[in-house]
Amino acid sequence: MTVADIPGLIPGAHLNRGLGVSFLRHIERCRVLLFVLDVSSAEPWEQFQQLCFELDQYKPHLSQRPCAIVANKMDLPEARENLEALRSRVHQTVIPVSALTGHNMGRLILHLREMYDSYPQNAACS
């Protein structure tokens, strides 16, 4: 499995702001998507909506690929409250993790493998 890490996709990326279009080209080749959100920040669901908007502006329905949301920074107190609010606002699987402590990374890896294995190999290129 190959992983493309696309950090810092900013508002306006589809208009080639920042490294927008070069980042988005990499995403186009991905079979599944993981949206890593900072759930310690205010309204992390807004981060998710902005990322989906940028993907779909670049290529319609790109954000509709099989995906999950990685709720990072669960080691911080404010993340716990935001996690429940995030889950109530999205339909995707939300996996709470802490990159700092390694909490729940095994579950994340297993879920990613299941998503990858269940998605047809040639579907990402369509």
Structural domain includes residue 6: no
Per-residue model confidence as pLDDT tens for the chain (126 residues): 666 666 666 676 666 666 667 777 878 888 888 999 999 999 999 999 998 998 898 899 999 988 999 999 999 999 999 999 999 999 999 999 999 999 999 999 999 989 888 877 655 433
In this prediction, residue 46 carries a pLDDT of: 93
Query: What is the pTM (predicted TM-score) of this model?
Result: 0.84
Structural domain includes residue 19: no
Instruction: Tell me the C-alpha distance between 31 and 120, whole Å.
Output: 8
Domain count of the fold of the chain: 1
In this prediction, residue 16 carries a pLDDT of: 64
Structural domain includes residue 95: yes
Structural domain includes residue 23: no
3-state per-residue secondary structure call for the chain? CCCCCCCCCCCCHHHCCCCHHHHHHHHHCCCCEEEEEECCCCCHHHHHHHHHHHHHHHCCCHHHCCEEEEEECCCCHHHHHHHHHHHHHCCCEEEECCCCCCCCHHHHHHHHHHHHHHCCCCHHHC
Structural domain includes residue 39: yes
Domain encompassing residue 81: 33-119
Give the CATH number of the domain where residue 58 resides: 3.40.50.300
Distance between alpha carbon 14 and the CA centroid of its chain, in Å? 17
Structural domain includes residue 113: yes
Structural domain includes residue 18: no
Structural domain includes residue 92: yes
